[in-house]
Structure 1
Amino acid sequence: MRSRWNRPPERARADAVLRLVVRTSSELCLTAGTVILLFVAYVLLWTGVKADRAMDDERARLRDTWSAAAPAAAPQTVPPATAPSPPPAAAPLPEGRAFAEMYVPRFGRDWVKPVLEGTGTELLKKGLGHYPGTARLGATGNFSVAGHRRTYGDPFKDFPELRSGDAVILKDATAWYTYTVRGGPLRTLPTDVAVVDPVPRKSPFTGPGRYLTLTTCDPEWGHSHRLVVWAELTGTRVVGQGRPEGLPG
């Protein structure tokens, strides 16, 4: 009986090659697994950490700007029907700059995000993005906002939880704006740009008004579709009057 110590040289070489292939494959699989785990950790954790810091920085800069420009005005309440609209010749909002904060009580008492002008990829890593060309905050038309569902802080992670009657509250330098959701999320294609029209298509609205559209990606970790929620302006008050009803202190 031939032992493994006196195998033919050809068999020994074949066994050595096989062992090398198995060892190399194992090391490659281990390396690939490590890379995948690091990538998942980056997507799930580090992008969120960076986004949270960026959003905090945007809100801090925004509040500094508001504090520096705050007028000495007497508090007053402005009903939605007579809420002031920006003049037709108002200067465009600066691209990439935060100009408002959004609060959604349905997402949690501490949920608040900056709203920046534009919807570029890098911009949405720092907050929510206002679609250029759509209405100004509180104005007649459709104030439309996009946000990530997952990664970069997961701002719209709980988007499907929005229900008719929920409040979406925004604040700029001078006023609070309360929009009330009308109907649950609609799933549509990214090419369906009419959802941000002044009177948004497929929405519950049939005529001009002061509307809000929120959009995010669907499915949760994909981007083949969009989820859309519409709301309409139901309350406005100047900042000096304090926080609106329904917004936790």
Structure 2
Amino acid sequence: MPPVDEHAYPPPVDEETVALRIPGPPPRRAERTRRTDGTGYTTGTGGTAAYGTDGARPEPPAATGGRAERRKASRKRHGRRDGANTPSEGSGAPQGRDAPQAPLSRVEARRRARERKASPAVVASRGIGEVFITCGVLMLLFVTYQLWWTNVRAQAQAGQEASDLQKDWADGKRNPGAFEPGQGFALLHIPKLDVVVPVAEGIDSKKVLDRGMVGHYAEGALKTAMPNDKKGNFGVAGHRNTHGEPFRYINRLERGDPIVVETQDTYFVYKMESILPVTPPSNVSVLEPVPKGSGFTGPGRYITLTTCTPEFTSKYRMIVWGKMDEERPRSKGKPDALVR
């Protein structure tokens, strides 16, 4: 065993007696040569740090030498090498995505800008999509206008016309005679369908039918009789859908159901006789004094209701016929068909 260096291993201080003691032998397998692991701590032969006799790990030795040695030792203590300021884990320096990015070159910036810009195909598809959406909205508005708003407006106009007509009757302003086109002269009642609608002269769409009224065939080759005529066919037309749709449900009428035409001084009561579900618009024979297809065999006092079919189209016509059953003066009160 080599001799013990008393200066390398000073004796421990006895805190109780403050007595001197002969130092014991050095730790087994200890190395006299000081070796550091980069942190400045002394390690043993197995690479473990050497501790003092009191079990505490000694502080790393202070750097010796000149200024350059001290700087080098300081960099090692802070985990830096070769003067590079590398951020250590747990430090406050941003890392990864949060780290500041280097400025892009002009070529790279242009390339990324082109990637962000939409291609012509994408722009075209967006434009087509917007056109389709706009068309869909317009179609929805048009359908709403046709199926809802035209009914609201036409029913209001027809109601006002009926009110004015009844007021004129009460004031004696509507005497029997010729009527101007578009002028209301009667009220049509269909009790089973809860329909009360003004009857105006002519079948003009804007002046009569689109205002929610029923139009009397009174012009040219389609001229028909008036209710007060002793013989003939009183023909009228009305919308089945939209614009008040007064004839929407005339297909529900059955034989014997009353149809009443009210004028200033008389109630004309007809009984439904027959129906022609479908016929071409060119079949004007249904309006003849003795209408063909009605089942009537000779002259009489008839009424003919005409409207479009199927619903929401004007491809064909539906025809309903009735025969005069009663002519009742207003002075005798309402007919039984209108008394509920």
TM-score interval, smaller chain:
0.7 to 0.9
Shift of 1:95: 1.0
Q: Is residue 213 from structure 1 mapped to residue 304 from structure 2 by the alignment? A: yes
- Hey, what does 2:235 align to over in structure 1? 144
> Partner letter of residue 191 of structure 1?
S
> Partner letter of residue 136 of structure 1?
M
Q: Gaps spanning 5+ residues in structure 1: where?
A: 72-89
State the identity %: 35
Q: Residue 184 of structure 1 aligns to a residue in which SS?
A: strand
Pick from 183, 189, 192 the counterpart of residue 103 of structure 1: 189
Pick from 165, 172, 196 the counterpart of residue 69 of structure 1: 172
1:105–1:248 contact (8 Å) kept in structure 2? no
Shift of 1:12: 7.5
Q: Gaps spanning 5+ residues in structure 2: where?
A: 1-109
Pairwise CA RMSD: 2.1
TM-score, scaled to structure 2: 0.62
- Hey, what does 1:124 align to over in structure 2? 209
Shift of 1:60: 1.6
Matches within 5 A, 1:30-41: 30-41=133-144
- Could you give the per-residue CA deviations for residues 47-76 of structure 1, whole angstroms, max 9, x where no partner exists? 0111011101211221121011189xxxxx
Structure 1 runs of 4+ with >3 Å offset: 5-9
Shift of 1:92: 3.1
Shift of 1:202: 1.2
- Could you give the per-residue CA deviations for residues 158-197 of structure 1, whole angstroms, max 9, x where no partner exists? 0211111111011000011110011234321110001001
Matches within 5 A, 1:23-102: 23-69=126-172, 91-102=177-188
Q: Residue 169 of structure 1 aligns to a residue in which SS?
A: strand
Counterpart-to-counterpart distance in 2, 1:163 and 1:138? 24
Pick from 110, 115, 118 the counterpart of residue 199 of structure 2: 115
Q: Which structure: greater strand fraction?
A: 1
- Hey, what does 1:18 align to over in structure 2? 121
TM-score, scaled to structure 1: 0.84
Counterpart-to-counterpart distance in 2, 1:171 and 1:8? 79
The higher-RCO structure (CA 8 Å, 6+ apart) is 1
Counterpart-to-counterpart distance in 2, 1:112 and 1:92? 23
Counterpart-to-counterpart distance in 1, 2:274 and 2:228? 20
Counterpart-to-counterpart distance in 2, 1:169 and 1:185? 20
Counterpart-to-counterpart distance in 2, 1:185 and 1:159? 11
